[in-house]
Amino acid sequence: MESFRQAFELLFPPDRELLQIIGVTLRMSFFSTLISCLIGLPLGALIGSKSFRGKSFIKKLIHTLMGLPPVVAGLIVYSLFTHYGLLGKLNMLFTVRVMVVAQVMLITPVVIGLTSSFIESASKPVIETARGLGFSGLKTARLCIGEGRSSLFSVVLNAFGRSIAEVGAVSIVGGNIQWKTRVMTTAIMLETNKGKFSFALALGIILLIIAFIVNALASFIVKEVKDD
Amino acid sequence: MIEINNLKKRYGERTVLDIPSLSINDGETLALAGANGSGKTTLLKILGGTVKASEGSFSIPGSILYMPQNSYAFRGDLIRNILISGADRSKAFELLEKLELSHLADKKAKSLSGGELQRLSLCRVLSGKCDLLLLDEPTSACDANGAELVIKAIKDYQKSCGCTVIMSTHSPLLALNASDRLIILNSGKIEADGSPEETLANPGTQWAKSFIAGWKI
């Protein structure tokens, strides 16, 4: 109950630092989801709809990357962007931008894997019908996306959920810097390490509320799409 | 004319289709009959270009339209489901009328019964023009009235465009009333080939004879 009281106190009136943390969290999750989907949805659709040499190997690779531990992704990105790393000159370490890069590395395989599975199974009758009618590849692809848009929306939602809940990679590359790269999950981790369990739990409750609002909005949109 | 030479399809060690030679004349309506797994759908899919043959060759004249065994309803109403193939509204209504679906024109296609959906799927295919029409079990989900509507629609379409029609079926009604040639397949091989009347009277092999006996005409 103490945690719920603290969560309420943080929200009403809104704590300035909390608002900043929520802002960074949403910004990071939005952009990492957007970039992952821009890369992952077309690639997933391509892998799911085409037969080609090495497809089985690529699918195995994607399924392996879907389980990539966040700390490993964090370490890879850290080593790339550190001062002596390949991309060190960009001077991006401990910024929100590099946190987005780490998350894109984690989420893109998930988007590719889920999209290709969906296209392979659910889109089979769509593809068969479209080919039977002599439709072009482009028209068939557009139909697949149109027919499966609520399922593809779930893929996007899944990516967002993974992004907003991630802690390992963003804490390594972002550094959990106050007023700069601190997000909800790294703030919870910090408060837990400080022994402030009920405050950490209060932050957790707020994170859950944010996730619930995003999911409710998405469900509403999906329902609108289905009813269309 | 469609010419098939030494056409084979294998899945691993199993040969599901083995046709040494087959000619189908332009404008012919051919029914493919046979038990499940006899190779009817495989042959249609190979001709339609959705499955690759393991061996052999075939020639196809011009454009193809193919209606798969499992009918699919695109989202939206019945009209949209036909317009999607490029037909105009009057053609779409004409086909819906012909297959007794016009009273459902503005209903969602996903709410249709199996038989209605199959007739809609046929409307969608028949709204286009082709030289070869491939139909995979076009009456499998239809009741007696629905099957008669389908047969009439196929006949009218064939008459108007003069295209070649190849359809697989388990229905004696379709095989005997809508086709002018009947081929019976067994384990991917042709057991009988001739006009429906000839095949019924003289099925050729013992297997074809017992298969036709099972039709209970």
- The span from the CA of A142 to the CA of B137, in Å, is 28
**B182: β partners:** B31, B194
Cβ contacts below 8 Å, chain A against chain B, sum to 44
Q: Which of A131, A134, A147 sits opposite B63 (nearest CB)?
A: A134
Q: Which of A51, A124, A128 to mutate to test the interface with B (most CBs of B within 10 A)?
A: A128
Q: What angle do CA B143, B200, B140 make, to 5 degrees?
A: 20
Per residue in A172-217, pLDDT (tens digit) is 999 999 999 999 999 999 989 998 888 788 888 888 998 898 888 8
Whether the pLDDT of residue A142 is over 90: the answer is: no
Instruction: Identify which of B50, B74, B75 has the shortest CB distance to residue A228.
Output: B75
pLDDT at A66: 95
Percent of chain A with pLDDT over 70: 96
- pLDDT at B114 (0 to 100): 95
Can you give the CATH number for the domain in which B200 is found? 3.40.50.300
Residue tagged 């990679």 (tokens): A169
For residue B181, the enclosing domain spans: 2-213
pLDDT at position B83, please? Answer: 96
SS3 A225: helix
Q: For residue B184, how far is the Cα from the chain centroid?
A: 14
Question: Which chain A residues have a beta carbon less than 8 Å from that of B128?
Answer: 133-134
CB atoms inside a 10 Å sphere around CB A79: 14
Residue among A219, A213, A226 at smallest CA distance from A146: A226
A8 has a pLDDT exceeding 60? yes
Between CA A203 and CA A10 the distance in angstroms is 9
pLDDT over threshold 90, residue A7: no
Token digits of residue B16: 């599901």
Task: Return the closest-CA partner of residue B146 out of B134, B157, B133, B137.
Answer: B137
* pLDDT of B122 higher than 60: yes
Closest CA to B157 of B59, B65, B89: B65
Q: How far is B202 from chain A (nearest CA, A)?
A: 35
Minimum mean pLDDT among A49-53, A165-169, A178-182, A189-193: which range? Answer: A49-53
Per-residue confidence (pLDDT) for residue A225, from 0 to 100:
61
- Contact residues, chain A to chain B, C-beta under 8 Å: 125-126, 128-129, 131-134, 143, 146-147, 228
Average pLDDT of the residues of chain A: 89
User: Position B35: which residue type?
Assistant: A
Q: Angle of helix A96-121 relative to helix A55-66, nearest 10 degrees?
A: 130
Interface probe for A, chosen from B84, B131, B137 (most Cβ of A below 10 Å), is B84
The candidate with the shortest Cα–Cα distance to A68, out of A192, A164, A140, A162, is A162
Closest CB to B48: pick one of A132, A143, A147: A132
Q: Tell me what pLDDT residue A224 has.
A: 65
Nearest residue of chain B to residue A142 (CA atoms): B84
How many domains, chain B? 1
In eight-state DSSP terms, residue A196 is -
B139 strand-pairing partners: none
Neighbours of B216 (CB within 10 A): 6
Least confident of A8-22, A124-138, B65-79, B168-182: A8-22
Q: Do B121 and A129 touch (CB under 8 A)?
A: yes
CA distance A196 to A199: 5
- Contacting B residues, span 19-78, partner chain A, CB-CB under 8 Å: 48-50, 63-68, 70-72, 74-75
Q: Quick one: DSSP state of residue A101? A: H
- Of A33-37, A48-52, B163-167, minimum mean pLDDT range: A48-52
* Contact assignment for B74 to A143 by CB distance below 8 Å: yes
CB contact under 8 A, A125 and B65: no
Whole-number pLDDT of residue B29: 95
pLDDT score at B50: 86
Percentage of chain A modeled with pLDDT above 90: 56
The per-residue b/e assignment along A8-33, b for 16 or more CB within 10 angstroms, e otherwise, is eebbeeeeeebeebbebbbebbebbb
The answer to whether the CB atoms of B85 and A133 lie below 8 A apart is yes
Q: Which domains does chain A have, with CATH numbers?
A: 2-119+148-227 (1.10.3720.10)
Q: Give, for A31, the enclosing helix (H) or strand (E).
A: helix A16-49
Is pLDDT of A11 > 80?
no
At A64-106, the pLDDT tens digits run 999 999 999 999 999 999 988 999 999 999 999 999 999 999 9
Q: Which residue reads 């945690």 in tokens? A: A3
Average pLDDT over residues B78-103: 95
